[in-house]
């Protein structure tokens, strides 16, 4: 009986060793690859190792996987002290997508654009006088961002206020050779671009400039006459 004891102990020790032995390095690389692919954030070697079986060498697996990915469409890259899968730099252009975005102008922007087009060069104060309401910076910024208006020359008056004029991009967008080809007032009304006041009896709606809506006084500008 005593002769069987060493054999039994050796067998048990072998089972324990096999139970906690690390998987082959190729399998460790697969584990690291799966974790990096699924993670939205870069992972450190310690974070990788914490998820892998005992005895794995996450740092070595990362390095081997990194070399395996050299020359491929994606790469294993170091981000600080962490690792991540990223598109190869020379193929980044394939990930770009052009999207045509349709943007509707607010009524305030349409009115402001019309005033600038028909009265250019025109100052902010003149736009506000014609519309009858204060002009918000957001409306001007939107038209500047679209490259439909630009800053013109300053007026040689007290304060030297800046003026606004329409751009070549504005003319090109609307198929105009010059501002002289702008449609007449009747055409603008037919297109609904000059509906600056609510119908008679209706409550005043808030202006899209975030300012109180006011009806422009008659005679203030022919653009807003009935």
Mark whether 56 and 114 lie in a shared domain. Answer: no
170 is a domain residue: yes
Q: CA angle 100-107-194, nearest 5°?
A: 120
* Same domain flag for 76 and 152: no
Residues 129 and 220 in one domain: yes
* Residue 168 lies in domain: 107-194+208-224
| Whole-number Å distance between alpha carbons of 203 and 160 | 38
Of 55, 89, 123, the one marking the end of a domain is: 89
**Is residue 220 pLDDT above 50, yes or no?**
no
The model's pLDDT over 69-100, given as tens digits with 9 standing for 90+, comes to 999 999 998 888 889 998 888 888 888 777 66
Does one domain contain both 79 and 119? no
Question: What is the per-residue pLDDT across 54-74, written as a single tens digit (0 to 9) for each?
Answer: 999 999 999 999 999 999 999
Distance CA 83, CA 81 (A): 7
Identify the domain boundary among 61, 89, 117: 89
| Separation in Å, CA 217 to CA 130, 164, 196, 212, 223 | 9, 23, 11, 15, 12
The predicted structure's pLDDT at residue 135: 86
The two tokens of residue 152 are 């013109």
Q: How far apart are CA 68 and CA 135, in angstroms?
A: 61
Distances (CA, A) of 171 to 21, 48, 52, 178, 217: 74, 58, 63, 6, 30
CATH number at residue 176: 1.10.10.10
Answer yes or no: is 97 within a domain: no
- Beta bridge partners, 77, equal 84
> What pLDDT is attached to residue 57?
94
Average pLDDT, rounded, for the chain: 76
Q: In this structure, are 161 and 54 located in the same domain?
A: no
- CB contact at 8 A, 89 and 95: no
**Where is the domain boundary, 62, 89, 116?**
89
Tell the burial category of 189 from Cβ atoms under 10 Å away from its Cβ (0-12, 13-18, 19+): middle
Q: Note whether 145 and 113 are same-domain residues.
A: yes
Domain contains 27: yes
User: What integer is the mean pLDDT of 102-124?
Assistant: 86
Beta carbons within 8 Å of 13's beta carbon, 6+ residues apart? none
Bridge-partner residues for 122, per DSSP?
A: 164
Tell whether 130 is covered by a domain. Answer: yes
79 shares a domain with 38: yes
H or E segment to which residue 210 belongs:
none
Tell whether 76 and 37 lie within a shared domain. Answer: yes
**Is residue 208 predicted with pLDDT exceeding 80?**
no
- In this prediction, residue 201 has a pLDDT band, given cuts at 50, 70 and 90, of very low
If asked whether residues 216 and 148 sit together in one domain, one would say yes
Same domain, 53 and 126: no
101 exposed, middle or buried (CB, 10 Å; 0-12, 13-18, 19+)? exposed
- 215 shares its domain with 134: yes
Residues 130 and 167 in one domain: yes
Question: What band does 50 get if pLDDT is binned at 50, 70 and 90?
Answer: very high
Residues 6+ positions from 226 with CB-CB distance below 8 Å: none
pLDDT digits (tens, 9 = 90+) for 128-146: 998 888 888 888 888 998 8
The verdict on residue 199 lying in a domain is: no
Does 47 map to a domain? yes
Residues 30-35 have a mean pLDDT of: 95
Reading the block at residue 96, the tokens are 């770009």
**Given this model, what pLDDT does residue 63 score?**
94
Count of the separate structural domains present in the chain: 2
| 77 in any annotated domain | yes
Share of the chain above pLDDT 90, in %: 31
Q: Is residue 202 part of a domain?
A: no
Of the pLDDT bands very low, low, confident and very high (cuts 50, 70, 90), residue 147 is confident
């Amino acid at each position: 009986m005593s002769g069987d004891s060493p054999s039994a102990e050796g067998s048990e020790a072998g089972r324990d060793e096999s139970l906690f032995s690390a998987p082959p390095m190729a399998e460790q690389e697969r584990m690291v690859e799966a974790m990096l692919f699924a993670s939205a954030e870069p992972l450190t070697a310690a974070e990788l190792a914490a998820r892998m079986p005992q005895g794995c060498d996450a740092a070595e697996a990362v390095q081997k996987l990194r070399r395996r990915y050299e020359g491929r469409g994606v790469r294993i890259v170091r981000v600080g002290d962490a690792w991540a899968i990223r598109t190869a730099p020379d193929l980044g252009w394939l990930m770009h997508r052009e999207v045509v975005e349709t943007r509707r102008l607010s009524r305030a922007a349409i009115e402001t654009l019309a005033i600038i087009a028909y009265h250019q060069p025109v100052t902010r104060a003149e736009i506000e006088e014609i519309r009858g309401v204060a002009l918000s910076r957001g409306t001007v910024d939107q038209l500047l961002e679209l490259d439909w208006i630009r800053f013109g020359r300053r007026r040689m008056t007290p304060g030297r206020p800046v003026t606004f004029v329409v751009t070549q991009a504005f003319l090109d967008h609307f198929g105009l050779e010059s501002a002289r080809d702008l449609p007449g007032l009747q055409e603008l009304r037919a297109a609904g671009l000059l509906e600056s006041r609510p119908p008679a009896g209706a409550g005043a709606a808030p202006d899209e400039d975030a300012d109180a809506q006011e009806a422009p006084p008659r005679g203030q500008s022919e653009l807003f006459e009935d």
